[in-house]
Amino acid sequence: MNTLPESAELTHDKTHAEALQGDPAQQSLAEALRVSFAILKVAMFAVLVAYLLSGTFSVGSNEVALRLRFGEYVGGPGERVLERGTYLAAPFPIEQVIKVDTRPMTLAMDREFWYQTGTRDRGMTRDQIRNSRAGPLNPLLDGSLLTGDMNIVHARWTVTYRVGDPVAFVTNVGNKDLARDLVRCAIQQGIVQAVAQFPADELLKGVVNREVATAVAQRKLSEMSSGLEIDQLALDKVSAPVSVIASFDAVTTAETDRSQRIVSSQQDRARILGETAGEGSDKFVELLDRFEQASEAGTPADAAAAEREIETALTELRVQNVPIGGEVAQVVNAAITYRTQVVERVKGDSETFQRLLPQYERNPRIILTRLWEDAREQIMTGDVETFYTLPGRLELQLNRDPVIQQERQKAQMRSLKEKQTDFKK
């Protein structure tokens, strides 16, 4: 192939440049091309930067994120989950960011174990619903649970769950709707097994082992490596079959009345014992029970020991360092006071007799006369109470004024002491 000499090429380029310089249109076109090329380079650089920065992402407080590079998780087993913060990832399709919501989610199970309800049942009372559903249950439409005593009940539940293992959730589930269905199926199995352990009466009172139900459901979810965790299971409502609600309600009402009567009786017992023996009532009753049990069992030694403890408690008005009060203390104190008065009175009579005996032996007639005069004086000088009534029928229920009786007894004691003093002289 023939080529031009180097000098010829230089001459051609120089001639072409001189031609362009001489043509204004060609110069403008060349300048426009240079500017367009510069703008294109800047735009391409900006697009490249935007593409590289498109992998920047933020993770909120109620979520976590996972990075996948060409379909594989980025990071080691303990470093794959990204929590709250801002991160930079390679742009798609090199890397992909998947965010997982970690907030607790609620699943209401209103129809799974409940009899069928429709718009016609809204606003109806339980009696009206019972009358409208007097027939047997339809297993295809009515949900129910079988209890441990082979009875049927209806129940509504609410389960709270969340994503506990984001990696397992994204790998094996990856969808909220599918997660909800898995939780529904798992918790249904748990509820069925938990309810089967209790009789219907207990379940109608709200007694059910929720731990068993959640454990069974969690085991099923863990076996599937779903990454889902059950937080709470709540029994919202429970009902007997509609056709027998009235019978169950009657039993429940009777048990409630029984419980109220028991509580009322316990309150009355506490009040009566408190009024009778005060703080020491319970321990004092225990002593009495021990004495009765020992007496009925035919063990005299134990009965005698309990009797001694009872006598000690009544004497000291204390039982096991707890004071005895109430009516028991009042009666014991009144008895002690009466005993003291009787002893003092007998002691005074004895002293009077001992003083009068020598005088009587010397001159019995004078002593007898004096004693008769004293007795006559006491009888004739007694207090007189006068009552004024209106004319008409009168019914009298007399009872002496206790104040007057006390004053009279005090006067008699003073008179007796004065006579004793006279005899001493």
Do 369 and 343 have their domain in common? yes
Pairwise pLDDT comparison (160 vs 116), residue with the higher score: 160
**Last residue of a domain, which of 177, 207, 240?**
240
Do residues 212 and 197 lie in contact, with contact meaning Cβ atoms separated by under 8 Å? yes
Do 220 and 112 have their domain in common? yes
Predicted confidence (pLDDT) per residue in 63-118, tens digit: 998 888 888 888 877 788 888 888 877 777 788 888 899 999 999 999 899 887 76
Residue 160 pLDDT level (bands cut at 50, 70, 90): very high
Pairwise pLDDT comparison (312 vs 384), residue with the higher score: 312
pLDDT above 70 covers a percentage of the chain that reads 80
Q: What is the pLDDT of residue 380?
A: 67
Q: What is the pLDDT of residue 229?
A: 95
Give 303's contacts (C-beta < 8 A, 6+ positions apart): 291, 294, 295
Name beta bridge partners: 56.
Answer: 88
Is pLDDT above 90 for 387? no
Choose the weakest-confidence range: 8-17, 192-201, 355-364, 410-419.
Answer: 8-17
Do 227 and 186 have their domain in common? yes
Domain annotation covers residue 9: no
Query: In the chain, how many domains are there?
Result: 5
Do residues 199 and 254 lie in contact, with contact meaning Cβ atoms separated by under 8 Å? no
Do 230 and 351 have their domain in common? no
Domain annotation covers residue 7: no
Do 310 and 413 have their domain in common? no
Q: What is the pLDDT of residue 119?
A: 55
**Last residue of a domain, which of 308, 324, 340?**
324
Do 227 and 262 have their domain in common? no
Do 259 and 318 have their domain in common? yes
Cα 422 off chain centre by = 79
Domain annotation covers residue 39: yes
Domain annotation covers residue 157: yes
Q: What is the pLDDT of residue 205?
A: 84
Predicted confidence (pLDDT) per residue in 335-344, tens digit: 888 888 899 8
When the pLDDT of each residue in the chain is averaged and rounded to a whole number, the result is 80
Do 214 and 112 have their domain in common? yes
Q: Residue 168: give the domain boundaries.
A: 105-118+132-240
Q: What is the pLDDT of residue 232?
A: 95
Do 211 and 196 have their domain in common? yes
Domain annotation covers residue 10: no
Pairwise pLDDT comparison (129 vs 338), residue with the higher score: 338
Predicted confidence (pLDDT) per residue in 265-302, tens digit: 989 988 888 888 888 888 888 888 888 888 888 888 88
Is pLDDT above 70 for 17? no
Do 201 and 262 have their domain in common? no
Do 191 and 67 have their domain in common? no
Domain annotation covers residue 2: no
Rounded Cα–Cα distance for residues 136 and 114 (Å): 14
Is pLDDT above 90 for 15? no
* CATH number for 222: 3.30.479.30
Q: What is the pLDDT of residue 2?
A: 46
Pairwise pLDDT comparison (370 vs 107), residue with the higher score: 107
Do 220 and 139 have their domain in common? yes
Domain annotation covers residue 245: no
Domain annotation covers residue 8: no
Q: What is the pLDDT of residue 424?
A: 46
Q: What is the pLDDT of residue 309?
A: 86
**Last residue of a domain, which of 187, 216, 240?**
240
